[in-house]
Structure 1
Amino acid sequence: MSMKPLEFDRRYGELEQVISAYIGLQADDEPDKPSEALQAYLRHTWHARPWALASAEQQIREYARNPPGRLRLSLGEFYAVPDVGLPESAIRDWLFVVADHLKRSIEQGEVPPPSTPRTHWEWHARFPELGQLLGGWFSQDMPDEFPDHDAAVDDYSSTTDPQLVARLMGELHELLALALEESDYALAVADLGMEVDPPRQFSPSGWLAHLADSLGGAAKADYGPGSAAD
């Protein structure tokens, strides 16, 4: 019988977050050098959820000490580590290396400086609501579903909780504050799920700024007469 969500999260929730950071990347951690994937996890988690690092170290080390057998994996009683490009015989040693890096980072206070996201996982971990908008409303099917970009944004804002729309606005301003090159903004929105080009009159950053302004104007328009917004 598969584990219930609460039990899974207690035992493997943060382990799964770490492993997710390796999707599409190499698990090439060395004892003296964390992989690009682990560096991305450390960089984001230190600044967003620093308390989770200790849970990750504990869960990974415990899993490596007591790896599940095939039967228990088939019954859903243990977390099955996805394919990270390593032979099965090397997984256990690799997990110990990862746990050691996490432990050293915590004990020595090695906090990575803020930085532009460098991996697919890190982009989505840092800008989750923007990824939701771009991946859900601006896929390659967008021209068949909406007459233009503004219509897609209107649909998003009218069907999404206002608190999530506000979160999106914050993410847009944070992304624009990175002051990237236009080519890097194009790569960023593609990494976050956008499969169509911005409207012709906008550069990628220009459209993100227009999007932030549009959503901000819509939020102000929701205030009634005599409200605090007046």
Structure 2
Amino acid sequence: MPMKPLEHDRRYGELDQVLRAYAGQPADDTEDRPSVALTAYLRHTWHTRPAALAVAETQLREYARNPPGRLRLKLGEFYPVPDVGLPEPEVRDWLFVLATHIRRSIEEGEVPPPSAPVTHWEWHARFPELAQFLGGWFSQDMPDEFEDHDAAVAHYAVAADPQLVARLVGEVHELLALGLEESDCALALTELGMEVDPPAPYGPSGWLAQVADRLGGPRAEYGSPRP
């Protein structure tokens, strides 16, 4: 019988978060060095949910100690570890390596220094509402759905809950505070789901600043573009 959501989260919820961090990244952790993916998970989780690290360490270790058989996986009774590019016999030892790195980070206070996100997972974990905004309103279909960028921003402003709009404005300011070069800012927007170029004459950071300024104003202004 497949697991119910509460049981899944209790037993595997944080393990799942760790493994999601490996999407598009190699599982090349060694006993001496965590991978780029695990470092990104540690950096973000230390900053946002430090208590979750102990949960992740426990769930990884317990899963490695008691790996499910094929029948239980087929029945949906266990969390299936996604394909991370390792031969199946090596996955169990790899999970122990991850648990050891997380435990060491907790016990020795080895916290990755602040930086801009490095992986696709970290960009989305750090800027979830900005990813929703860019991926939902500025996909490649944007020119067919809206007259221009201003119209798309105006639609988001009236469609989204005011609290989410405020969260988006905060995330835009946080991204701009990273001080990225324009080329790196453009890559960040792509990672977060934007599939069209910013409107002329703006570069990526200038357009983001304009969006934050507009959405940060009184809600009465949202219904139509500023002159």
Under a length normalisation based on structure 2, what TM-score does the superposition of the two structures give?
A: 0.96
Residue aligning to 2:225:
none
Equivalent-residue separation in structure 2 for 1:51 and 1:165 (angstroms):
28
Residue aligning to 1:12:
12
* 2:127 is aligned with 1:159: no
Residue aligning to 2:25:
25
Amino acid of the residue matched to residue 52 of structure 1?
A
Secondary structure of the structure 2 residue equivalent to 1:217: coil
Shift of 1:181: 0.4
Instruction: Name the Cα RMSD after superposition.
Output: 1.1
Listed as ranges, the matches of 1:138-157 within 5 Å are 138-157=138-157
Amino acid of the residue matched to residue 149 of structure 1?
H
Shift of 1:2: 1.1
Amino acid of the residue matched to residue 56 of structure 2?
A
Equivalent-residue separation in structure 2 for 1:81 and 1:220 (angstroms):
48
Q: Specify every segment of 5 or more residues in structure 1 that has no aligned partner in the other structure, as ranges.
A: 223-230
Amino acid of the residue matched to residue 111 of structure 1?
V
Residue aligning to 2:93:
93
Residue aligning to 1:211:
211
Amino acid of the residue matched to residue 160 of structure 2?
T
Residue aligning to 1:131:
131
Listed as ranges, the matches of 1:1-230 within 5 Å are 1-219=1-219, 221=221
Amino acid of the residue matched to residue 101 of structure 2?
H
1:17-55, Cα deviation, whole Å (9 max, x unpaired): 000000101000000000000000001100111010000
Amino acid of the residue matched to residue 69 of structure 1?
G
> Paired residues, what number?
222
Shift of 1:218: 4.1
Identity %: 74
Under a length normalisation based on structure 1, what TM-score does the superposition of the two structures give?
A: 0.94
Change (3 A) 1:218 1:146: farther
Amino acid of the residue matched to residue 20 of structure 2?
S
Shift of 1:90: 0.6
Equivalent-residue separation in structure 2 for 1:219 and 1:73 (angstroms):
50
1:150-200, Cα deviation, whole Å (9 max, x unpaired): 111111111111111110010000001111100000000000000000001
Amino acid of the residue matched to residue 33 of structure 1?
R
Equivalent-residue separation in structure 2 for 1:158 and 1:77 (angstroms):
43
Shift of 1:219: 3.4
